[in-house]
Amino acid sequence: MKALPLLKIAAVAASLIYVGAAAQAADSSTASSTAAASAPSASSESLGQHISDGTVTTKVKAALMTAKDVKSTHIHVKTRRGIVWLTGSVPTSDEKTRAQEVAEGVTGVHEVKNRLKISEAGSAQ
């Protein structure tokens, strides 16, 4: 029963390593600063942007999984141009707030759209 969370953490860690290496390669090929990334233009939609969003999504998922005060099994994360959407359900309003705080603390997150719903049924699992 305890092996499933360990497998999830291992999968997220492996994804972080893979996506991080790809993002680092993309970052080294473009000499743009992170300040420019905070104000994307219409032409800034590139492979580097997709990799960066994927990296942010993976980092947020990993942070949520390792946060002891958030049950992340029903939280879905999506990132677009540094804006993170949290959807799904959590058992309490405290966990909803904490999930947003965790996501906001991840490097590369510019804004968090917290669309989590509070569901007491989620605490039974």
User: Residue 83 pLDDT more than 70?
Assistant: yes
Measured in whole angstroms, the distance separating CA 38 from the mean position of its chain's CA atoms is 17
- Look up the pTM and report it: 0.60
Predicted confidence band at 18 (pLDDT cuts at 50, 70, 90)?
Answer: low
CA–CA dist 119, 90 (Å, integer)? 6
User: Which of 49-63, 65-79, 81-95 has the lowest average pLDDT?
Assistant: 49-63
- Number of neighbouring beta carbons within 10 Å of residue 99: 26
Highest mean pLDDT among 15-19, 33-37, 104-108: 104-108
Strand partners, 85: 78, 113
What pLDDT is attached to residue 71?
A: 87
**pLDDT 10s digits, 28-62:** 444 444 444 444 444 455 666 566 899 999 999 99
| Inter-residue contact 72 to 37 (CB < 8 Å) | no
